[in-house]
Amino acid sequence: MSLRSSIDFLLYQWLNAPALNQRERFSDHSRDTFDAVLDTCERIAREKYAPFNRLVDTQEPHFDGDKVTLPQATHDAQKAYAESGMLSAAQDYDWGGMQLPYTVEAAANAFFACASVSIGSGMLTTGNANLLMAHGTEAQKNVFARHEFAGRWSGTMCLSEPQAGSSLSDVATRAVPDGADHESDPLGPRYRLKGNKMWISAGEHELTENIIHLVLAKIPGPDGKTVPGVRGISLFIVPKKLVTPEGQLTGERNDVALAGLNHKLGWRGTTNTLLNFGEGKFQPGGQAGAIGYLVGRPGEGLKCMFHMMNEARIGVGMAATMLGMAGYLASLDYARNRPQGRPMGVGGKDAAQPQIRIIEHADVKRMLLAQKSYCEGALALELFCARLVDEQHTGDAASADEARLLLEVLTPIAKSWPSEWCLEANSLAIQIHGGYGYTRDFPVEQYWRDNRLNMIHEGTHGIQAMDLLARKVLMENGRGLQLLAGRINQTIERAIQQPELAAHANALGAALQQVGSATKAAWATGVPTDALANAVPYMQAFGHTVLAWIWLDVALAVRASGSRDAAAQGRLAAARFFFHYELPKIGAWLRVVETRDQTCAELPEDAF
Amino acid sequence: MSLRSSIDFLLYQWLNAPALNQRERFSDHSRDTFDAVLDTCERIAREKYAPFNRLVDTQEPHFDGDKVTLPQATHDAQKAYAESGMLSAAQDYDWGGMQLPYTVEAAANAFFACASVSIGSGMLTTGNANLLMAHGTEAQKNVFARHEFAGRWSGTMCLSEPQAGSSLSDVATRAVPDGADHESDPLGPRYRLKGNKMWISAGEHELTENIIHLVLAKIPGPDGKTVPGVRGISLFIVPKKLVTPEGQLTGERNDVALAGLNHKLGWRGTTNTLLNFGEGKFQPGGQAGAIGYLVGRPGEGLKCMFHMMNEARIGVGMAATMLGMAGYLASLDYARNRPQGRPMGVGGKDAAQPQIRIIEHADVKRMLLAQKSYCEGALALELFCARLVDEQHTGDAASADEARLLLEVLTPIAKSWPSEWCLEANSLAIQIHGGYGYTRDFPVEQYWRDNRLNMIHEGTHGIQAMDLLARKVLMENGRGLQLLAGRINQTIERAIQQPELAAHANALGAALQQVGSATKAAWATGVPTDALANAVPYMQAFGHTVLAWIWLDVALAVRASGSRDAAAQGRLAAARFFFHYELPKIGAWLRVVETRDQTCAELPEDAF
């Protein structure tokens, strides 16, 4: 298996991506144009990303007090990515885009994440510009988004602060109107911002001519107080360098200063920063405070920010998936070439025989098939979600609404599941390498380190679980959950008619019922603390059920293809692995949900 | 909870360690002398180890082509440890030891592993000298072991080679008799060795005056050929610097040369080396080949080496446990001090209220209690195994034999279980820290990296699982498994009479039956490939059952103590957590064992 063969199968045999081309927006496209995009991205990733993945891990960003230095390879990768047109691939032709379906964009971007997850930060720039396209004024779109799509400027998302990570309602950054004429600035209502933002990826560098920060801050009322909670949050464009209404650099720095770089366990190719806004290091117009332009309406900042959250969370899920995939492919290659040990015979091992390669040992095969079932399954899930994004944007009203609601329910899984299980895949990849896997001479330890971030950023595991159990499965009177169950049941109905898949179908049906009754039992008392004490185990079980469904649906596509080649055999085995080794795990997770187990929640602090 | 309070409870309330003092060997000891040892080790660990744990991670060993340089802190830690007398603590008074029970030695050494697992390598030196005490000649003991116990020389274990890791039968290092008089050397039959040894911890440094390598090699027969398999392996003492029969350095280097340092993901405070034996860089007596002295009889090298294996595997299990414990304590401290978010109420969160500390969130409590149940449970298991070692050495014949057999069965669990679950604990410790845990400003990411080694060295997870299912549960007609089941049933019988523990007792009884029938089902066809395809899931289920037993037994001790304080409450909750959240996981693992699932084993290579 290769990443490309997997993507090809999932896009063309399973998701039938070319059918999108019957829609007006995508009507110029064909499998040929999709393939051309995939070819280009695969090539750039192979040439400009993969060879430098270790280098960007060891040559971390360096700040000399003035500028942040990154390796030349990072500049080259950035340039090649921008030149590929991927930053604006999904945009209208008018905007220099190619009106590419998001499904294909996501698949094409997977090559970069697999080759070197941290060398590029294109996802942030695209997400930033997409947000402006949705919520910005024409001037904001033309000045900021346009330069981002072109790759001349890059973008960030500034949500967290040192004292406010998961709890965004506590952001302390303040924005005050900048002068009497602040409402009439051509770039949007102009404010002065003061505060600190933490964990800002790509927050400072010399890769692009300018950096466009999207910053959450609160606007104090006439009494100088801010509205508590997330309702008080507004969103601002804060460029690193000031620009004219026509989008030219004025030559003046905005008051955004790098306070320090974070030194992380992994993901070291991307600068990660603490930024000071308005500390007075630079004083545009001779005044303190970073100049920012309001996006959308005051108090609706988080709502605007969440516009990009679904795609960002799919992006995180895809990154986790691709780190897992990179480890799988590396350990598969190692297992095919490393001789060690001998076959097991009834009479023991014959030491006079030559050694076999470790892929011939059952336990190594188990570790490989586990990785394949986690990573190829997760890839299928992410592409399925990307396909829903396209449906939401280009389907008919009913279908778009269903896609929206399914996405709401599936997003916490798309983000959390690969973060947990493709990390486990990376650990198995290390294990297959033995002692060598524990050294920096092989790539797998880096994948494992890089991947550990994904359960943390863009909403922790715990936050995703609360989102799922407290919001998503309840919203619209449970319609999202019903919709998902309906889709799962459709797959079950088709699979149950095939002798090879009927047992899986029955197992999935039982799992779905278990999840359904656990959901009810969790909320039986109506008390959130009862229900949510075990939100993470619930999400783990929910995720495994979703993945079992995805694998069963993929298995149906394998069988429908009529192929019985090695790749088909491998996918059916990965599905079987998931049903035999993984799905049965949900029982243990759901048990504590069903009983609303308070063992942890009730334990007093001094008993730990 | 502190590590000390946990050790005190387990040693004194649970294992009744002072009862050992009724035995002649330990008759000078008392709880006071045990406490004095614990106090000393706790203090040295706090002063000489803990403050330098990050330093030894960042200042890796450096080889300039001549000498290996280590930080001064490593020299200081080594010196303090040697001066504490811990290297020879378990030895006879005649040998400068204190005749300390192994149980207390293991507990005392835990402080060092918790403070900085890689700064010290005392375990290897003690293990090396212990092996010589068991299998060496009087001269070998007096010259080599004595200097090791004194801390003047240090020891290594040289098993693996670049092409022979898990498969020791493939060692290619050769030993040939060194001259006609080789049999009459006072230090033992003298050979010349040639070969390469890989992954040798503490293989080169300037911490001690000499380094004593214990090296596995094969002696070719008259036809120049070696015996295939492990039966052909012999064991040799190969000092870095040559010594006189009286143990003085001759001033001449032996032909052991550092070929390179391994650069690892973690555990960086200990040099890890590739050593060349007999490559001719040094030529003692003007001849090529490293001089080595045979230990024990030719062909019995691996048997001798395994003498130290049980203790080494308990040592690895303890190291994994202590890394987990270090992460638990760090994340507990962080959770008690980090404000973030608000309590959950029926009407949602009130953003106007001040933030609460994260230990007040149910999901953080869940992650803390999981860590506690993994790490304190694993500590109990390791100390229980250490207590069995004492029983084996000082109990009456029947009791010693039972202890030996129980140790055989439990050793794969003592090694593998903490390696897997205390690593998971470290991941939870990162998660509790959020983004901060992913930076190198906090200690938890290093614990996680350090801990990843433990599933690999001293026999991989896969090797432990084969040892358990193919050897240990079958040996002596299954007597070891029956013995363990008997002990577990004794605990169940006591617990079932206590209302608070009866449900746990029933659950453990059911788990034990499941493991028993899965063992039978695995071997039902008598075909090793059928049984062993799922040896690792079997070991996971076996391990969880053992840990449930340990927790139930600890819970009995808590209740017997009559205490209802916070610590008692915490231990009962950790036991309950294990029974509610963890033990139910065995169903999924055993399912594939019972059905002898061949999904992985049968998959052809090109289907991956």
**Extended beta strands in B411-552, E state:** none
Mean pLDDT over A341-358 rounds to 80
Provide the pLDDT for residue A371: 98
> In terms of CATH, what superfamily is A309-342+354-594?
Butyryl-CoA Dehydrogenase, subunit A, domain 3 (1.20.140.10)
pLDDT in tens, B20-60: 999 999 999 999 999 999 999 999 999 999 999 999 999 99
Provide the pLDDT for residue A351: 80
- Going from N- to C-terminal start, the domains of chain B cover 1-120, 154-307, 308-459, 471-608
Q: Which two tokens stand for residue B355?
A: 């933030």
> In terms of CATH, what superfamily is B308-459?
Butyryl-CoA Dehydrogenase, subunit A, domain 3 (1.20.140.10)
Q: Which residue has better confidence, A215 or A349?
A: A215
Closest residue of B to A455, CA-based?
A: B431
Q: Which two tokens stand for residue B512?
A: 């034990």
Cβ contact A254:A231 at 8 Å? no
Q: How far apart are CA B607 and CA A567, in angstroms?
A: 5
Chain A residues within 8 A of B532 when measuring between CB atoms: 344, 362
- Return the closest-CA partner of residue B7 out of B379, B419, B388: B379
Q: How far apart are CA B564 and CA B572, in angstroms?
A: 10
pLDDT confidence bin for A346, thresholds 50/70/90: low
Q: How far apart are CA A169 and CA A299, in angstroms?
A: 11
A154-299 is classed CATH 3.40.50.800 = no
* Touching A: B residues 310-339, CB under 8 Å: 332, 336, 339
**Catalytic annotation, residues of B:** 458
Chain B residues within 8 A of A430 when measuring between CB atoms: 452, 456
Cβ <8 Å between B352 and A435: no
pLDDT confidence bin for A312, thresholds 50/70/90: confident
pLDDT confidence bin for B348, thresholds 50/70/90: low
Cβ contact B432:B369 at 8 Å? no
- Residue A352 has a CB neighbour count (10 Å cut-off) of 10
Strand A256-261 relative to strand A62-63: parallel, antiparallel, unpaired?
unpaired
CB contact, 8 Å: A397 with chain B? no
Chain B residues within 8 A of A534 when measuring between CB atoms: 366
pLDDT in tens, A23-50: 999 999 999 999 999 999 999 999 999 9
What per-residue string of b and e applies to B481-498 under the rule 16 or more CB within 10 Å gives b? bebbbeebeebbebbbee
Q: How far apart are CA A209 and CA A241, in angstroms?
A: 9
Q: Which of B169, B438, B605 sits opposite A453 (nearest CB)?
A: B438
Q: Which of B262, B355, B366 sits opposite A439 (nearest CB)?
A: B262
Q: How far is B595 from chain A (nearest CA, A)?
A: 10
Q: Which of B1, B165, B344 sits opposite A529 (nearest CB)?
A: B344
Chain B residues within 8 A of A600 when measuring between CB atoms: 362, 365-366, 368-369, 573, 577
What per-residue string of b and e applies to A280-310 under the rule 16 or more CB within 10 Å gives b? eebebeeeebbbbbbbbebbbbbebbebbbb
Q: How far is A162 from chain B (nearest CA, A)?
A: 9
pLDDT confidence bin for A347, thresholds 50/70/90: low
Cβ <8 Å between A462 and B1: no
Cβ <8 Å between A362 and B266: no
Q: How far is B284 from chain A (nearest CA, A)?
A: 32
Chain A residues within 8 A of B363 when measuring between CB atoms: 462, 465-466, 533, 535-536
Provide the pLDDT for residue A103: 97
Which residue, among B600, B602, B605, B606, would best test binding to A if mutated, counting the most A CBs under 10 Å from its CB?
Answer: B600
Q: How far is A374 from chain B (nearest CA, A)?
A: 13
pLDDT in tens, A92-111: 999 999 999 999 999 999 99
The three-state secondary structure class of A555 is: helix
* Touching A: B residues 544-573, CB under 8 Å: 566-567, 569-570, 573
Cβ <8 Å between A167 and B341: yes
Total CB pairs under 8 A between chain A and B? 272
Q: How far apart are CA B292 and CA A247, in angstroms?
A: 77
pLDDT in tens, A193-212: 999 999 999 999 999 999 99
Cβ <8 Å between A431 and B456: yes
CATH value of B154-307 in 2.40.110.20, 3.90.550.10, 1.10.540.10, 2.40.50.100: 2.40.110.20
Q: How far is A252 from chain B (nearest CA, A)?
A: 33
Q: How far apart are CA A570 and CA B338, in angstroms?
A: 47
Which residue, among B363, B536, B585, B596, would best test binding to A if mutated, counting the most A CBs under 10 Å from its CB?
Answer: B363
- Return the closest-CA partner of residue B388 out of B246, B497, B550: B550
pLDDT in tens, B460-484: 999 999 999 999 999 999 999 999 9
Closest residue of B to A530, CA-based?
A: B362
Cβ <8 Å between A369 and B344: no
CB contact, 8 Å: A199 with chain B? yes
Residue A604 has pLDDT above 60, yes or no: yes
Cβ contact B219:B191 at 8 Å? yes
Cβ <8 Å between B452 and A427: yes
Provide the pLDDT for residue A539: 98
CB contact, 8 Å: A431 with chain B? yes
Kindly compute the dihedral angle of the four CA atoms of residues B2, B7, B10, B13, in this order, to the nearest 10 degrees: -90
pLDDT confidence bin for B345, thresholds 50/70/90: low
Cβ contact B579:B547 at 8 Å? no
Q: How far apart are CA A123 and CA A474, in angstroms?
A: 31
pLDDT confidence bin for A345, thresholds 50/70/90: low
CATH number of B1-120: 1.10.540.10
Provide the pLDDT for residue A20: 97
Provide the pLDDT for residue A350: 77
Chain A residues within 8 A of B537 when measuring between CB atoms: 581
Cβ <8 Å between B363 and A430: no
Q: How far is B350 from chain A (nearest CA, A)?
A: 8
Active site residue: A458, A493, A500, A602, which one?
A: A458
Put simply, whether the predicted model's pTM sits higher than 0.90 gets the answer: yes
pLDDT in tens, B520-560: 999 999 999 999 999 999 999 999 999 999 999 999 999 99
- Residue B577 Cα to chain centre, angstroms: 25
Which residue, among A363, A457, A595, would best test binding to B if mutated, counting the most B CBs under 10 Å from its CB?
Answer: A363
Cβ <8 Å between A606 and B566: yes
Q: How far apart are CA B233 and CA A281, in angstroms?
A: 70
pLDDT in tens, A134-193: 999 999 999 999 999 999 999 999 999 999 998 999 999 999 999 999 999 999 999 999
Q: How far is B447 from chain A (nearest CA, A)?
A: 11
A156 forms bridges with which residues in the sheet? A213
Closest residue of B to A332, CA-based?
A: B608
Residue B455 has pLDDT above 90, yes or no: yes
Q: In this structure, is the dihedral angle defined by the CA atoms of residues B526, B529, B534 and B536, taken in order, positive or negative?
A: positive
The average confidence (pLDDT) of chain A is 96
Residue B15 has pLDDT above 90, yes or no: yes
pLDDT in tens, A267-307: 999 999 999 999 999 999 999 899 999 999 999 999 998 87
Radius of gyration of chain B, Cα coordinates, nearest whole angstrom: 25
CB contact, 8 Å: B157 with chain A? no
